[in-house]
Amino acid sequence: MADRLIAEHMPTYPSESVALESACGTILREQVFAERDQPPFDRVTMDGIAIRSSALAAGRRSFHVIGIQGAGVAALPLGDDTNCVEIMTGALLPDDADTVVPVERIERNGDDVTLETGYEPNPGQFVHRRGTDLKAGQPLLEPGKLIGAPEIAALTIAGSATVTVARWPKIAAVSTGDELIDVGGPIELFQIRSSNDRAIVAAFEKRGCTTATRARLPDDPDALRSAISDMHDRDDILVLSGGVSMGKYDYVPQIMDELGMRVIFHKILQQPGLPMWFGVSAQGKPVFALPGNPVSSLVCLIRFVLPAIRTALGATLPEQQTVRLAETVHYEPNLTCFMPVQLGVNADGDLRATPKPTNTSGDFVSLARTDGFVELSRGRDDFDAGEPVSFYQW
C-alpha cells in the first residue's frame, strides 16, 4: 500500500551519458548491441599446436612446426597438411587449420612434434568458434540493468566508451533535532551525535549514488521552514529524519503543510518506523520524513525510499532478496515487523537469517552486527524456521 502510494507519486528522472568509467552502480537506460561477433574470430582455447583434421584422418601423427603464434597477431598460414603452428590460448586459429592439440599431448623434437601414443584428437577441438556466443548487432544488455562487473565487461565488448544511464536525482539528507551534534566536536551529556544524515548518505553511496548531501536543522519552525524551502528548490528529493511524531517539538508535518507539500500518507502500521510521513511538493518533488530513531530512519529509508528511487530510475530488479529464517520468530503486535538479521551459513551449507532484535528503535549499536532486516508481514504472530522472507540489505 505505502509502496504503491509512493510509486504513484515518483517522477521519472532523466538519462545522462557517462563515461564507462563512471557507469558502475547506475541503471542502464539504453539497449546495448554487440559491436562484433562474440568471439570475434575462431579463438584457440588451449596452448598447443594448430593442425588440420584431414591430416589426422589420413593417419598422420607427426607435424613440422612452421612458426609460433600468440594472441593478438594475425594468423600464420599452415600451408601443408604436414605442418602445424605452435599456438597459444587466445590466438586466432589459422584459416587452414581446424583443430588444436594441447601441448601436454605432444612430444617435441626440434621443429618436429608427434602426438602422444594413443591420443585421438577430436576434429575441431579447443576452438571457440566465431559468433557462437553472439552475432554482431544482437542485443547484449537491456535497459533497466544495474551496472556491475559483468555489465561493465559487456559494455566494453560492445565498444561503448560512453553509456546512457539514469541520472541519480539530487538528494538532501536532513537530520532535525535540537539535541543533534555532528561528529568531531565536544558534546554535552544531553546531546546526541547526529548519525542519521550520515547513515542515510552512506546507504545512498553504497548504491552508487554520489548526489546525496547532508544537513542538520534545529527544532525551530522558522529555521525549518526556510532551510527546507531552500533545499526543495535546490534538490530533487528530500529525506528528512526526526520531528514527525506527536511531540511538542515535532514540527515537520506542520512545516510541510505550510510549505504547500501535499501529504500522501502519515504513519504506517509497522515497527519500527510507524510515524513515517510521505508527501509531494507543488512542483512534484517527493519528500520523505522518517522517524528520528536511528533504527527506524534507516529501516524506512531502505524499505521504502531506496526501492522507490530505484524503480523511478528504471531498474528491473527489486532492492530486496529472499532469505530463509534460521529460527522461529514470535511477534504479537498487529504491525508489520522489520527484524534486523545476521546472515550466516548453517550446518548444511545453506544461507540463513538469524533474527537480532534491537533493544529499542534507538538501539543503533546492535545494528552494526547485522547485515540487514527481514520483513515479517502484519496479521501473523508466528514465523517458522526455514520460512522464506523478504530481506533488505543495509
Residues that bind ligand AMP (CB under 6 A): 175, 177, 179-180, 192, 194-197, 241-243, 245, 247, 291-294, 362
Q: How many CB atoms lie within 10 A of CB 334?
A: 11
Q: Which three cell numbers stand for residue 268?
A: 504506517
Residue 70 and residue 75: Cα distance in Å, rounded?
A: 9
* Residues 6 or more apart whose Cβ sits within 8 Å of residue 378: 269, 270, 334, 335, 336, 337
Shortest spacing between CB 252 and ligand AMP, in angstroms: 8
Using DSSP's 3-state secondary structure scheme, residue 100 falls into strand
Residue 79 and residue 51: Cα distance in Å, rounded?
A: 10
Per-residue b/e over 7-31, b at no fewer than 16 CB within 10 Å? Answer: eebbeebebeebeeeebebbbbbee
Residue 2 and residue 7: Cα distance in Å, rounded?
A: 8
Shortest spacing between CB 241 and ligand AMP, in angstroms: 5
* CB nearer to Mg ion: pick between 4 and 248: 248
Q: Considering only residues 242-271, where is the footprint of Mg ion by CB under 5 A?
A: 242-243
Q: Which three cell numbers stand for residue 180?
A: 543533534
Residue 145 and residue 375: Cα distance in Å, rounded?
A: 25
Shortest spacing between CB 232 and Mg ion, in angstroms: 20
DSSP 189: T
Q: 245 touches which of Mg ion, ligand AMP, none (CB within 5 to 8 A by kind)? A: ligand AMP
| C-beta nearest to ligand AMP: residue | 292
Q: 195 touches which of Mg ion, ligand AMP, none (CB within 5 to 8 A by kind)? A: ligand AMP
CA 26-30-34 angle, 5° bins: 110
Contact 212, 205 (CB under 8 A): yes
* Residues 6 or more apart whose Cβ sits within 8 Å of residue 21: none
Q: Residue 109 belongs to what H/E stretch? A: strand 106-109
* CB nearer to Mg ion: pick between 242 and 279: 242
* 272: contact with Mg ion by CB under 5 A: no
* CB nearer to ligand AMP: pick between 168 and 251: 251
* CB nearer to Mg ion: pick between 94 and 243: 243
Stretch touching Mg ion by CB under 5 A, among 133-141, 162-170, 174-182, 369-377: 174-182
Shortest spacing between CB 174 and Mg ion, in angstroms: 12
Shortest spacing between CB 254 and Mg ion, in angstroms: 14
Stretch touching Mg ion by CB under 5 A, among 89-97, 154-162, 171-179, 190-198: 171-179
* CB nearer to Mg ion: pick between 63 and 364: 364
* CB nearer to ligand AMP: pick between 77 and 362: 362
Phi, then psi, of 284 in degrees rounded to 5: 85, 15
* 294: contact with Mg ion by CB under 5 A: no
Q: How many CB atoms lie within 10 A of CB 67?
A: 14
Shortest spacing between CB 304 and ligand AMP, in angstroms: 16
Q: Which three cell numbers stand for residue 41?
A: 574470430
* CB nearer to Mg ion: pick between 113 and 200: 200
* CB nearer to ligand AMP: pick between 177 and 253: 177
* CB nearer to ligand AMP: pick between 245 and 342: 245
* 177: contact with Mg ion by CB under 5 A: yes
Stretch touching Mg ion by CB under 5 A, among 68-76, 224-232, 286-294, 374-382: 286-294
Contact 102, 46 (CB under 8 A): yes
Shortest spacing between CB 362 and ligand AMP, in angstroms: 6
State how far Cα 217 lies from the chain centre: 32
Shortest spacing between CB 217 and Mg ion, in angstroms: 10
- Binding flags for Mg ion, 208-247, as an x/- string (CB under 5 A): ----------------------------------xx----
Report CA dihedral (281, 285, 289, 294) to the nearest 10 degrees: -160
Shortest spacing between CB 377 and ligand AMP, in angstroms: 25
Query: Where does this chain bind Mg ion (CB under 5 A)?
Result: 177, 242-243, 292
